[in-house]
Chains A and B, each alone.
Chain A
Amino acid sequence: MIYGQTIYWLTLLSSFLVLLGTVVSFIEKDSPIPTKQLLQSVIDGKNVDQIWQELGLSPAPDILFFLANPSVGESITMIGIAIGVSSVVPATFLSAYFLKKSRNPVFAILAILSGLLTCVAMTGIIL
């Protein structure tokens, strides 16, 4: 239950953030990530490296860039998506605790390992 509820509410939070980010993207002025150029480049079929290079962002921005620029529309959107995608991490660690308490140590360990691997993926260490 705790697993499901944690993910559910974090996913809803991320949805509202993504919606906010979308609106901000279209109304902001002088953004370091201009929505017009970004959208047109995607529609024109450019590859992702080209898209970011033409915006003057090379290497391509990662989540740290977006966290460092939280008022930009694209950043709010990406942070929202990241919260949704990452909602499984606290959920698995919380599940591990309750699985251990209910004498399911093997699955508690599996939950911790899953959470840890996801954290490793987030850091980009093995890219």
Chain B
Amino acid sequence: MQRLNTLKYIKNVPELFVLILATSACYLFLETQIDGMAFGGQGSFSGVDIIVISFLVSVIIAIVAVIAGVGGGVIFTPLLLAFTSFDTLLIRSTGLVVAMFSGLISTGPLMRKGLADIKIVLLGALPIIIGGMSGSFTAIHLARRLGEQSDGIIRLLLGLMLLFIAAVFVFKNSSSDYPALKKSESFSQFLKLRKTYWESSLGSYVSYRATNVKLSIFFFLVIGFTGGFFGLGGGWAAVPLMNLVMSIPIKVATGTSGVLLALGNAAAIWPYINVGALIGIVAAPWMLGQVIGGLIGANLLTSLKASAVRALLIIILFASSLKLVARGVETLTGIEIPVL
């Protein structure tokens, strides 16, 4: 029944239907009509195989990310930094593309449903843009100054941060679906950061008022910096910030996060593009996977068990963090650490 609903959904969104058909046709053409090994490869996988596999993995990442309530970047970047030898700047710039595009394509549907608060988006956008650009510039500058050593530092730092993120997912069980209405501070009242939206699962309207606005602006700056520096996006932090600190209902926090980070990361990605650190042929399948997977994931959201998907996410995060820390230490010290 769910498969029929998904097919019906795709057909009701004809542009998505056309995109899926076109993508499938193009990749099928490349696999069958092009001599893949003539375009390089690794082991038994040709260059074309790697492109197609990237697309399929990206679709899966997008679906897992949507259901787990995070951006794709927090899965993509650590996975590739841990388990491939691609240049770290290239991975991080592509990670920002991954983080952005699922947010971009869901912006329209989320705003139509009233699940993304444009005022919160614009409030958070400026600090995230400033933080993101600073993070990108710092990443590029570090890579140029320290070379291979910077790769080791990045892997180690990201591995440790990922352990923290994974721990947050394990121990944090305190998201609040509908935070109680608190008296908001004068700044929030001046900005009129209050809204009412239709909650279909309750069959009623839900009201909220944003709190701790000034503190949140500072945290948005930090989220932007880590997103731009590591190529992660920032949904893993933005959602709990909006829900637990700003007292925004979890659905609105999740929806707003996607829209906010799409806007915020748009500026962070340009420094990478301007120094040639984003390579189109590599980023393309990841981007397409996020667009298609993000839309499909949103449709599967109601039917798949979120707890099972979150468990899978935690395993991926822990495995990636262990491998990242090991590779970081290996690069910096020369000591081989046989992990995964």
Binding site for B on A (CB under 8 A): 1, 3-5, 7-9, 11-12, 15-16, 18-19, 21-23, 25-27, 35-40, 42-49, 51-52, 57, 59-63, 73-75, 77-78, 80-82, 84-89, 92, 95, 99, 104, 106-107, 110-111, 113-114, 117-118, 121-122, 124, 126-127
Contact = CB atoms under 8 A, between A and B. Distances in A.
B279 A38 contact: yes
Contacts, number: 226
Given A4-B107, A7-B262, A106-B191, A43 B287 contact: no
Interface string B78-108: 0000001111011000000100110011011
The 10 closest A-B pairs by CB, nearest first: A60-B276, A8-B108, A40-B40, A77-B280, A4-B111, A45-B85, A124-B274, A4-B108, A121-B270, A121-B267
B89 A12 contact: no
Interface residues of B, number: 75
23 contacts: A7-B104, A8-B108, A19-B284, A35-B47, A36-B47, A39-B47, A39-B282, A43-B42, A43-B47, A43-B50, A45-B84, A48-B87, A48-B279, A51-B276, A62-B275, A77-B283, A77-B284, A80-B280, A81-B283, A92-B122, A95-B122, A107-B119, A117-B267
B273 A111 contact: no
Given A19-B288, A22-B26, A110-B122, A74 B281 contact: yes
A64 B293 CA distance: 31
- Chain A binding surface, main DSSP class: helix
A36 B38 contact: yes
